[in-house]
Chain A
């Protein structure tokens, strides 16, 4: 079974609104990463948060990590049409020695102009 599960599966918002998506995982991790995938393209890394960090920012992105609940959230503020994409979380399981990331099925975000 997959380590990471994003929620919701799909999200549709208006331009300018904030978008929040969540990721839950099952085992202890070294870090958790968020990626974006535009239709028909490869994944692009957005942000990495380590297990000893609780919050991280990058531009309009804010990621939180709660290791006690085994969950993370990605917030995109002031969304734009160009943010329309699928978003994936990936976990680096603690006892896989960094060799084997596990991806969730993704959240499809649609930002309407």
Chain B
């Protein structure tokens, strides 16, 4: 079992460029999440998906879009990257009301 995988591990973008962060889980979880982590801020929820075909906004959704491609995969897209989106991005998955399993993270720098 790979658990939760994320690609890429590192990315540098210029302001205005777009990119998609990929996430996949092999635990048959219904729920998947995207978080960003900034120094001293803990994790902030960007978007989540309670099940295949549904997505909902979290605390900080502006500037992002998501796609729940199937039960395994949940992608996060930055259409026009801004320096304020420099952060570490984590994907997670869980069964309802159970612990979350996290991926290793993507470290994104926007110049």
- B101 adjacent to A45 (CB under 8 Å): yes
- B56 adjacent to A99 (CB under 8 Å): yes
- B42 adjacent to A104 (CB under 8 Å): yes
Residues in chain B near residue A44, CB distance under 8 A: 102
Q: Which of A90-104 contact B (CB under 8 A)?
A: 90, 92, 97-104
Residues in chain A near residue B58, CB distance under 8 A: 100
Q: Does any Cβ of B come within 8 Å of A30's Cβ? A: yes
Residues in chain A near residue B33, CB distance under 8 A: 101
- A98 adjacent to B102 (CB under 8 Å): no
Given contacts A41-B105, A42-B90, A43-B90, contact A48 B99 (CB under 8 A): yes
Q: Does any Cβ of B come within 8 Å of A77's Cβ? A: no
- A45 adjacent to B100 (CB under 8 Å): yes
Given contacts A42-B90, A105-B41, A106-B42, contact A99 B99 (CB under 8 A): no
In the assembled complex, the Cα of A44 lies from the Cα of B44 at a distance in Å of 16
Residues in chain A near residue B40, CB distance under 8 A: 105
Over the window 16-54 of chain B, the binary record of Cβ atoms lying under 8 Å from chain A Cβ atoms (1 yes, 0 no) is: 000000000000000101010000111111001010000
Residues of A within 8 A of B (CB-CB), count? 25
Chain B, interface residues (CB within 8 Å), range:
20 to 34
B43 and chain A: residue at smallest CB distance: A103
- B41 adjacent to A101 (CB under 8 Å): no
Residues in chain B near residue A102, CB distance under 8 A: 45
In the assembled complex, the Cα of A102 lies from the Cα of B98 at a distance in Å of 13
Q: Which of B77-99 contact A (CB under 8 A)?
A: 90, 92, 96-99
Residues in chain A near residue B48, CB distance under 8 A: 99-100
- B102 adjacent to A43 (CB under 8 Å): yes
- A88 adjacent to B104 (CB under 8 Å): no
18 further A-B pairs in the complex, CB-CB below 8 A; given A97-B50, A100-B45: A33-B99, A33-B100, A40-B105, A41-B105, A45-B101, A48-B98, A88-B42, A98-B31, A98-B96, A98-B97, A99-B31, A99-B50, A99-B56, A100-B48, A100-B56, A103-B42, A103-B44, A106-B42
> Which B residues form the contact surface with A (CB < 8 A)?
4, 31, 33, 35, 40-45, 48, 50, 56, 58, 90, 92, 96-105
